[in-house]
């Protein structure tokens, strides 16, 4: 069975500092990994994904994530945080690309960026 863990309920960072939001996963076979962001009272928005290839993937709004197979991790990173990055971030895993396969979400990590 697939699962996703986000060990931090909340991450606090000062504007301009680098940020990391952690994610570990468990899935049989090759993982398809995603990060989504949710702003207050909004739906989830796709940020980036890892399917195959380069372990460092880049996404929207300057975010990137590093896939580490040995540590089964997919941490979200940004070199310089903005106040506007404050939101709820979800790591997600899917057993395959395409329909019929459920994407499972982690519990979410709330990011606070202080000015």
Partner 1 sequence: EPEVTQTPSHQVTQMGQEVILRCVPISNHLYFYWYRQILGQKVEFLVSFYNNEISEKSEIFDDQFSVERPDGSNFTLKIRSTKLEDSAMYFCASLGGGTGELFFGEGSRLTVL
Nearest to 35 by CA among 96, 89, 82: 89
**Residues in binding contact with partner 1, number by CB under 8 A:** 25
Range 38-77, binding partner 1 (CB under 8 A): 42-46, 49, 51
Minimum Å distance from CB 40 to partner 1? Answer: 8
- What is each CA distance from 24 to 3, 71, 86, 113, in whole angstroms? 9, 8, 21, 23
Q: Which two tokens stand for residue 79?
A: 């070199």
Minimum Å distance from CB 46 to partner 1? Answer: 4
Listed in order, strand segments (DSSP E) in 30-72 are 32-38, 44-50, 56-58, 64-68
Range 14-33, binding partner 1 (CB under 8 A): 32
Minimum Å distance from CB 97 to partner 1? Answer: 4
Residue numbers at the binding site for partner 1 (CB under 8 A): 32, 34, 36, 42-46, 49, 51, 88, 90, 94, 97-108
């Amino acid at each position: 069975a697939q699962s996703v863990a986000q060990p931090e309920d909340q991450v606090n960072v000062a504007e301009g500092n680098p940020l990391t939001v952690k994610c570990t996963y468990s899935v049989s076979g090759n993982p398809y990994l995603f990060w989504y962001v949710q702003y207050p009272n909004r739906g989830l928005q796709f940020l980036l994904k890892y399917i195959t290839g380069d372990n460092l993937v880049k996404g929207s709004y300057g975010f990137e994530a590093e896939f580490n197979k040995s540590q089964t991790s997919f941490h979200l990173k940004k070199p310089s945080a903005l106040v506007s990055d404050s939101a709820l971030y979800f790591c997600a895993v899917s057993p395959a690309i395409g329909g019929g396969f459920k994407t499972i979400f982690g519990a979410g990590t709330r990011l606070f960026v202080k000015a």
